[in-house]
Every structure is written in C-alpha cells, then in structure tokens.
Amino acid sequence: METLFKYKKIIWIFLVLLITIGIFTYIQIPKRDIPEISQNIASVSTVYPGANPEVVEQMVTNPLEEELLEIAGIDQVTSASTNGFSTVTITLDNSRDADTVYSTIRQRVQNVQKKFPDEVMIPEVTTDLVNSSVATYHLLSDDRSALLSLREEIKEWEESLTETNGVDSVEIKGLPEQKVVISLDGERLEEERIQPDQVIEAISAEFSPAALGTDSTNDQNYLLNLSEPDDMEKLRSLFLPSSEDNHSIYLSEISTISAESEPLTDIITYGNEPAVSITVYAEDGVNVTSLQNQINQKVALLSENLPDNVFVDQFYSQSNIIKEVYNSLLVSLAISFIAVIVIMVLGLPISSAIVVGLAIPISIIIGLIPLPYSGVDLNQISIIGIIVAIGILVDDAIVVNDNITRRYQLGDNPLDGAKRGVKEVGISIITSTLLIVFSFFPLTFLSGSNGEFIRALPIALMSTIIASTIIALTVIPTIQYTRQLKLQRTKKRRVGLLTGLFRWLESFYSDVVIPVMIKKPWLSVISGTIVCILLLSLAVKVPFEFFPAADREEVTLSLTLDEGTKIEDTDEQLYAIESYILDHEEYVTEAARYTGSGVPNIFNSSLTRSGEHTGQIVFRVNRDKYSASQFIEDYESELREKFSNGEIFLETIISGPPPSPSLEVKIQGPELEVLLDSSTKLLEKLNALESVELATANTGSGQPVQTYEIDRDFLAENGISVNQVKKTLQLANTGFPINEMDLGGDRVPLELKIDEGTENGIGLDQLSTVAVSDEGMPEIYRFDQFITVNTEEQIAAITHLNGKRTVTISVYENDSSADFANDTESILAEIKNGLPSDYQLIKDGESSAESDFFAEVAKLFIIVLFLIYVTLAIQFNSLLTPLLITGTVFLAVTGAVIGLFISGQPLSFLAVLGIVSLSGIVVRNSILIIEFIEQNKKKDAISINDAIYAAGRARLRPIILTTLTSIAALAPIIFTGDVLFKPLAVSIVAGLIFSTTLTLLLLPAFYLTMEKVKRRQ
C-alpha cells in the first residue's frame, strides 16, 4: 500500500488511460433496443406444383426428414406439408459449430433432391431466419397500378440499400415477382396434332446443358459451350415438329410468350392508400443508430427519382425506439446519480462526497471496456444492469472513505491512516465484491432465449462493480492521502451536513437498540424468524407475469380465415375489421393492413403458416391516453364475436423473448384420420371451457378440393398415356416450371401453360389429347370423356415433429379465470385415455417453459448460496459464522416478497432475478458488522457485548449510507421506469430495506446466540 502512495501519479496515468479506452468503447459499441437473441434455425422450402399434402409429405417431406434427422447437432425437426409446398424447419442444439451443421444440411438436401419427382422444384435452404430489422418504409400512391409499375425503381432501392455497409438484406412486400409465360393455344395444338409433352421436351432440350468438351487451336485451349435462349425473341424462334405433315413450326405460331407478374401474395394498405413496403435488416453486431443515418441519406436520394404521385413514409425505425428508450434510461441514470450524490453529501463531508461520487462515472466508463469482448452491446438490459450497479458500486468507496476518515479522527497520520483504513476493510471489500460476482455470474448460464435475453444485465453489472472495487482500493486511498496531507497543514476538518444526526443514531443504536435486542437473544431470534416466515407466506398473493407487455403504441391483429379463401376476400375482411376499430376507438391514431404473408419482422409478430387466407393489421394507439394492453382487453373478445368466421389474435410487443401459448398439446401417431378425429374432439372440448380464450390447431381448417377421377380403362383401350394427361392438367391450371431465363438483368422463372379458354379452374371440355386408332388414324379425345370431377375436403397441412405425424394445439388462457390448469388437465386426461396404444399426447407451452425456468433458477440460487458460504468460510475460518451471514439472504427474500405484494408488481422473470441477486448484495452489511466484532475481540481483548456495541457504533453510518444509495439508484426505475424493470427494482429495494432493518436489529442477537452455542460445544 505504501508503494501505491509513493507512485500515485502512475495510478492517475493508468486511470486516465482506462477512462479514455472506456469513452472510445462507448462510442464504438453497438446500441440497440433489446439484446440480439441468436436462434440457430434453418428451413428447407420445396415447391411441388399441384401435389396435395399427402403426396408432398410422401415424396418430399419424408425423404428430407429421414436425411436431416441423422445429422449430428440437430435438436428438433418440424415440418408442414401443404398443397404444393413443403416446409421443414431445423433447430440446432448448439453442441456443434452452426456453420458446419448448416453446410451438412445443404449437402444432405442436395443428395435427397436427386430422388424427387421431375416436377419438384429445387429446394431452397435458408439459414438467416432471424434478422434485426432497422427500418420499414412505405411507398404510397392513390393508384396501386402506379406502384406496380415501379419495378425498376424498387429494384434500384433494393440494390442501393443492400450495398450499405451493415445491411444484411432488404425485404420487399406488395410487389409481385415476374415470370416469363409461354401460353400454348389449345386449338392450334389440336390442329397441328402436337401434344403438350412434346413442347415441354423441346423447350427443356434447349435449356439442357451439353458437354461439348474442349478444342485446341493455335496452342490455345477453348471450352466449348452451346448458347441457350436468353430472351423472349429467341424463345419465339424455337421450332418443333408437327405430327400433321411432319413440317416444323415455330413456337410463336402455337403460343404467346410474355412477361407477367406472379399473383399478388401481399396486399398492403396504409391509411387507406395502396402501399409497397421496404424493410431493411441489419447484420449481427451493427450499430443500428449509425446505420439508420446512412439509410436515411440513401432514402432521401432514392426518393428524388420517384414519380410525383408516389411518396415515401417511414413506418418503423428501430433507431427511434432506441432513442426513446435511451432517453428514458439516461434520465433514470441521471436521477439515480444525483440522488446518490445528495445522500452522500448528507452523510459525508462535501469533499468526501465528491470523491466518492467520482467513483460512479469512472466505474461506469471503465466497466464498459469488457462488454464488447463478452458479446454484449448497449441495450435496455445492459443499461439497467449499470443502473442497478450505481447503488452498489459506491458502497466500496463509501466504506473505504469512511474508514480512512475514522482512522484520521482517531489521530493517525496521513500515511498510517490511509494504510490502516484500507487494511481494516480491504478483505471485506474484496469478499463483498466476490459475493456480488458470485450472485450474478451464475445468471449468465441461464439457458434458452430467456437466458440470452437477460445475459447482458449480469455481465454489465459485474464489470462495473469490479471496476468500482479497483477504484475504491486504489484511487480513493490516494486521493484521501493527498487531501489529508493538505488538511494536516491547514488543520481544517469538514463534516457532513447530517454528521450530527448520524452520531446520534450511532449512539442510540449501540447504547439502546443493541442492548434491548441482546438482553434475551433467544427470544429475539425466535420471534424474528417467526415474523419472517409469516410475511414470506404473502408470496401466494403476489400476481405472476413472466414477461410484461412493453409500453409501445403498436397492437398487431392477426386474422386466419378458412383455407382456400382468396386474398381479395381476406383483404376485404381485414378492411371491415380496420373500419370497425377506427369508427369505435378515438385513441387509435393509424392502421396499416398487410394481407397475405403479414407484417415484416418488426413487431415480434408473425403468422404461423401464411397464405391468401391470412393477414395482419397494425394499429397504433395514443399512449398518452390509451395503452396497447387496454386496447387488447377492450376489443379482442368483441372482435372475435363480431367477426366469427375467422381466428383473430391481438398482441402487443412483449418486453422479452416472444411468448408461447399458455398450453401446447401435441398428439402424435401414424394415421391422419385418428389424429384429426382426436384433435377435433380436443379442440371442441377446450373451446367450450370458460377458462380458455381460444384453442387452435396447426393443421388449419379443411381445404376444399376438387378430385379428378381418370377412367384408366378408357386410356388403356385408346392408348393414351396417363402421364400425358397429368401434365396437360397441370399445364391448364398451375403451369409447368421449365427453367429460368434473363429478364431485364434478373433471372426469372420460365413457365409453360395451356390457355384452354377458361378463366378459373380447368375446362375439361376444352382440353384434348390425340391417340392413334386401330386403323392408324389419329383421333382426338376430349378430357371430359374420361375424367369426372368430385368435390371434397382434405386436411390443409400435415405436420411432423422429428419425423412423426403430429398435430399441435395451442391453447390460450382466459385471464379472468383461475381454473385453467384444472379444467384443461381433466380434458387432456380424457383424450389421452382414449388414444390407441401407438399414439401419445405431449404437454408443453408457456407453463412448461416457466416451470423449467424456475427449476433452473432454483438450482442457480443454491449454487449462489454455496459460493457465498464457501467464500465466507474461507474469510472467517469458521463453519457457523458463514451460516449466520448467509441467513440474511432469507431476510432479503422476505422483504422482496413484501415489496411486490404492497406495490402490486408481479413476480416476473426479472423480479426472480432481482431476488437471486439480493443474495450477494445484502450479506455486505453482515460482513461489515461481524468482521469488526471479530477484529475488536482479537485486538482489544474486550467482551463479546462490548465488541458488538463498538461494531454497531462504527458500522452504522456506512451501512445506512450504502443502503440509501442503493435505494436511491433504483427509486427512479420504480416510479418512472419501464414496466419490464419495475419488479426488479421493487424486489431489490424492498429486500434491501427489510434485510438492512432486520440485520441491524437481529444480527447482534443471532451472533450472541451463535457464540453461546460455540462455548457450549
């Protein structure tokens, strides 16, 4: 320590260096709204035109799943086989490198696709499923056709924004893709006796690569290639033989070739005006605020090239949310800082208060340095960790400063006073810091998205606390030593504004309170324990809410209609809902309608399986007059009753990872009929319960189907190929994908179809095929001669879990009912008992996730207590004393429960973490008192009672000051903070108040009792 004072200027140089690095870290560290939650998920999407769900399952999904489930590092595989489409979602288990697993997935998919039928298109493997959205812009116009004509301009937007450094991708909604369509003339095909498969074969041959090898000329090797049609003119000039007189005809003679738009998959309307949305997604770890500035500059330039009847509106910006959140948190930070300074000024001399106060910004700045290396950025969670640390980090500085000042008051010279002051409390300071680290460090190991979401809080807090301890043990003593040299010369001594009050409290506590409490120590111990147990029973009255709704203005309404509903009809229904809300609710400021695939990933809301029958509306409410949660409560049931022909969900942004349904039930088994029958019965029973708000199945509603029955005997008698008939039907309806070709610099699909003269459906009477009769003459047969049509209903989606057919039912609890668990349990038992032996029913959902979380937290809490006990056992070389100190954690938990009960705050995710973190905070007070008692006993050879009196007198002020500063730091969060963090602040503040009060009252009696037990032994 003497060396520290001798080279104090070196300390200042290192301090300035660390502060400089901390400032640069703050400038460069990414800033965002909430932490990035990495989800190692991949999807495989495969199109099988015209195939029903069972065929898609058999021919595409099953082969893919068989290969994927063999890959090491995969936790779960889910799939949905729908009409003409297969989606397989793969979740990794994080046991292996994600990039390696993704590479294996792509390789396996390539191997499997070789076995697919020819009509199946190439599977698309996507690994970047979860991106951080930066901003969404709407291009608006009175005329939707004006927007659809902006293809080149929107392409320029996409290319320009994608080139921006830090942008991962750009998503366009409301602008259909283009394709090149070869529309065959049915009558001309009949005249020329040309079969559709002949056309397919001829065009496919033009696009098939040919291996011509190489040629060597003039000592130069040349690769030999065949050109393929790269524009529509070359397509038109393709020729194929006619069966009529073996002459060749051009493709243009029997078809029309044109560029067409795909059918609209999204209809977007904002403020009753047609819109196209452009959403920008950021790469991982990017500073969103600085990226938004770059995007704004580009959008301003791109907007200049738009027509006069099209204008741009920024619908969403994460940067604006970050600014709002940061302003609120920085105000809380400033208020906390000022409140802590005020309390220190009241209890310490102004000069000492300033010295201690400097520890706050310096510790925060230095504490930022490790964050980027820990994978933590600045967000709501990490800033709250820093705010919590403010009230704790000054504890070390207060204790060191107070003890050095006490040594000077006892007459020590500047050097000896600083040395002895640090030596007396140094071990306690280090131990207390270790205990706080031990109480927060296990929280970094919480698993799943919840653990990843909260991980920034303990890391930010620990780094700040460690920085404060270093400053308290190095910078504070050097400052006090330098000041004392000056004061010794001037003989001037200053006191705090409330020094007189503190001295009175010290005397009152040591002379009155402690003697009363230790007069009958066993009575104090037993009565205090009974009171705590009784108060702890209030926990059953505390409401529970895992993650609260965020204080945001957006409410997302999701609508799902019957399968087969046209997108125009879905949009009309959404418009009716939108109009109803706007007519009845004055505090709704605007609405945006996304019919089809739904809103971009900007409000943590997505549709499970989107299509023409789905859509979403985003309502924005006036937060000064109305809340999103209140809007949902007021209108969800009303809308479901009024628009009962569809499933309606209202949700707002949750302050945490996306929530799960209250209950998820999975029924697994081999036969679709049994699965559908069981799930239908379960749905009916669950929806009949008053405690259930809504229950839905992931198979969707029944899909109306027209089944074409082919008279195969007729085909056999007349020599007609079944495959030829199938291809003709496909050409007349969905078209036949052939290849891709260049269109305006883009590769677009090339599709072949037959125009049989029917706008909707397939005109069987207009389709024909040619067969050779027994006399050798070609004969024409109409399709309605050998095909009949039957209308029925089939399952909309066949869903799998890890390769097994699984129907998942999501059940949402009615918040006004308390019988949800009992009601659903009895119904599930009934359905389960009725299932065949090779079927099973599995329960999951939010309640299971919450149970897993609390089980994990309980294990971590035990680990925390064990670490605290071991550390204290080493410090005090005792097994009983650590038990006494650790017992104050029980007092803190009781206080936290009382605080939550009185304030009405829920026992939430963060409230539980606050209770766990209290274990490392509250033991500080006990350590300060007991260590001083032990020192007095050894040094002065005084009685136990006198040692307790002396410890109470010496440690009361630092205990009160450290407790008050911790409370002051968190008080702004309680009164003006975000709903996510209020339970955390309440649990810590109430735990501190209760544990500090009872520690001061009961600890002397507990200690005396423990000493008596030791003597008897």
Name every residue whose Cβ is closer than 8 Å to that of residue 542 and which is 6 or more positions away in sequence.
897, 900, 901, 906, 907
What would the mean pLDDT of 278-291 be, rounded to a whole number? 87
Q: Which residues contact 501 (CB under 8 A, 6 or more apart)?
A: none
Residues 145/146/151/155 CA torsion (nearest 10 deg):
-130
Please determine, looking at this structure, whether the domain spanning 178-209+222-261+703-794 carries the CATH number 3.90.550.10. Answer: no
Residue among 33, 39, 35 nearest 606 (CA): 39
- Secondary structure, 3-state, 218-231: CCEEEECCCCCCCC
Convert the pLDDT of each residue in 315-346 to its tens digit: 999 888 888 777 777 787 788 778 777 877 77
Instruction: Write the pLDDT tens digit of every residue in 168-198.
Output: 899 999 998 888 888 888 888 878 778 887 8
User: Rounded to whole angstroms, how far apart are CA atoms 868 and 498?
Assistant: 34
Which tens digit of pLDDT belongs to each residue from 434-481?
888 888 888 888 777 777 888 888 899 899 989 988 888 888 888 877
For residue range 552-561, list pLDDT tens digits in order. Answer: 889 999 999 9
* Residue 539, number of CB atoms within 10 A of its CB: 15
pLDDT tens digits for 596-631? 999 998 887 778 778 899 999 999 999 888 888 889
**CA 575 to CA 885: how far, in whole Å?**
64
Query: Following DSSP, what letter does each residue of 302-362 receive, concatenated?
Result: HHTTS-TT-EEEEEEEHHHHHHHHHHHHHHHHHHHHHHHHHHHHHHS-HHHHHHHHHHHHH
Fold of 39-129: Alpha-Beta Plaits (3.30.70)
| Main-chain dihedrals φ then ψ at residue 266, nearest 5 degrees | -140, 130
Lowest mean pLDDT among 631-640, 724-733, 781-790: 724-733
Three-state DSSP state, 805: strand
For the chain, report the end-to-end CA distance as a whole number of angstroms.
40
CB 123: neighbour CB atoms within 10 A? 20
Checking if the pLDDT of 918 tops 90, the result is no
Tokens of 638: 């009303």
What's residue 108's pLDDT? Answer: 92
Domain borders along the chain are 1-28+348-493, 39-129, 178-209+222-261+703-794, 495-548+847-1017
User: For residues 571 and 575, what is the distance between their CA atoms, to the nearest angstrom?
Assistant: 6
**What average pLDDT does this structure show over 412-428?**
82
CA Rg, the chain, in Å? 37
| Token reading at 76 | 């779960």
The pLDDT of residue 657: 62
Note the pLDDT of residue 763.
Answer: 81
Confidence of residue 816 (pLDDT cuts 50, 70, 90): low
Per-residue confidence (pLDDT) for residue 849, from 0 to 100: 62
pLDDT band at 295 (very low <50, low <70, confident <90, very high): very high
pLDDT at 594: 95
3-state secondary structure 527-562: HHHHHHHHHHHHHHHCCECCCCECCCCEEEEEEECC
Determine phi and psi for 412, rounding to 5 degrees.
Answer: -70, 150
Cα–Cα distance, 588 to 745 (Å, whole number): 44
Whether the per-residue pLDDT at 9 is higher than 80: the answer is no
pLDDT at 268: 95
Contact 44, 64 (CB under 8 A): yes
The per-residue pLDDT for 688 is 86
How many helices (DSSP H) and strands (DSSP E) are in the chain? 34, 30
Give pLDDT tens digits for 43-90: 999 988 878 888 999 999 999 999 999 998 888 899 999 888 999 999
The confidence score (pLDDT) of residue 968 equals 82
68: amino acid identity, one letter: L
Which pLDDT value is given to residue 774?
A: 67
Lowest mean pLDDT among 179-188, 210-219, 464-473, 565-574: 210-219
The CATH topology of domain 1-28+348-493 is Multidrug efflux transporter AcrB transmembrane fold (1.20.1640)
Alpha-helix runs per DSSP H in 372-455:
380-409, 414-440, 448-454
Bridge partners of residue 311, in order along the sequence: 140
Residue 491 has pLDDT above 60, yes or no: no
Greater model confidence, 73 or 703: 73
Q: Strand 614-621 and strand 588-596: pairing?
A: antiparallel
Q: What is the mean pLDDT of residues 30-53?
A: 81
CA 378 to each of CA 27, 192, 344, 384, 618: distance values in angstroms, whole numbers, following the listed order: 11, 71, 28, 10, 28
Question: Which two tokens mark 406?
Answer: 């006490």
Q: What is the mean pLDDT of the chain?
A: 83
Report the length, in residues, of the chain: 1017
The token pair that represents 111 in the structure block: 């191997």
Other CB atoms within a 10 A radius of the CB of residue 705 amount to 16
* Burial class of residue 11 (count of CB atoms within 10 Å of its CB; 0-12, 13-18, 19+): middle
Long-range contacts formed by 520-524: CB under 8 A, 24+ apart:
521/1004, 521/1005, 521/1006, 521/1008, 521/1009, 521/1012, 522/1005, 522/1009, 524/1001, 524/1002, 524/1005
- Asked if residue 364 has pLDDT above 60, the reply is yes
The proportion of the chain whose per-residue pLDDT surpasses 90, expressed as a percent, equals 18
Q: Taking Cα atoms as reference points, which of 4, 16, 15 lies closest to residue 471?
A: 15
The answer to whether residue 766 scores a pLDDT higher than 70 is yes
- SS3 readout for 689-755: CCCEEEEEECCCCCEEEEEEEECHHHHHHHCCCHHHHHHHHHHHCCCEEEEEEEECCEEEEEEEEEE
Residue 789 phi, psi dihedral angles, 5° rounding: -115, 130
Cβ proximity of 267 and 571 under 8 Å: yes
pLDDT at 352 over 80: no
Average of per-residue pLDDT across 980-994: 87
DSSP-assigned letter for residue 662: S
Structure tokens at 844: 């999951």
Residue type, 796: A
Whether the pLDDT of residue 390 is over 70: the answer is yes
Task: Please name the fold of domain 495-548+847-1017.
Answer: Multidrug efflux transporter AcrB transmembrane fold (1.20.1640)
Q: Tell me which H or E stretch contains 169.
A: strand 167-173
pTM: 0.79
**Is the pLDDT score of 768 beyond 80?**
yes
Residue 775, H or E segment: none
Tell me if 393 sits within 8 A of 465, measured CB to CB.
Answer: yes
Give the contacts of 330 (CB within 8 A, at least 6 positions apart): none
**Burial class of residue 202 in the structure, from the number of CB atoms within 10 Å of its CB (0-12 exposed, 13-18 middle, 19+ buried):** middle
DSSP strand pairing (746-755 vs 178-185): parallel
Whether 39-129 and 178-209+222-261+703-794 share one fold: the answer is: no
Share of the chain above pLDDT 70, in %: 93
Which tokens in the block code for residue 48? 């099988």
Inter-residue contact 717 to 774 (CB < 8 Å): no
Q: Helix 318-347 and helix 380-409: axis angle, to 10°?
A: 10
Give pLDDT tens digits for 630-679: 898 899 889 998 998 888 988 888 766 666 777 888 999 998 888 888 88
Give every CB contact of residue 823 below 8 A, 6+ residues apart in sequence. Answer: 689, 691, 692
Give the mean pLDDT of 140-162: 90
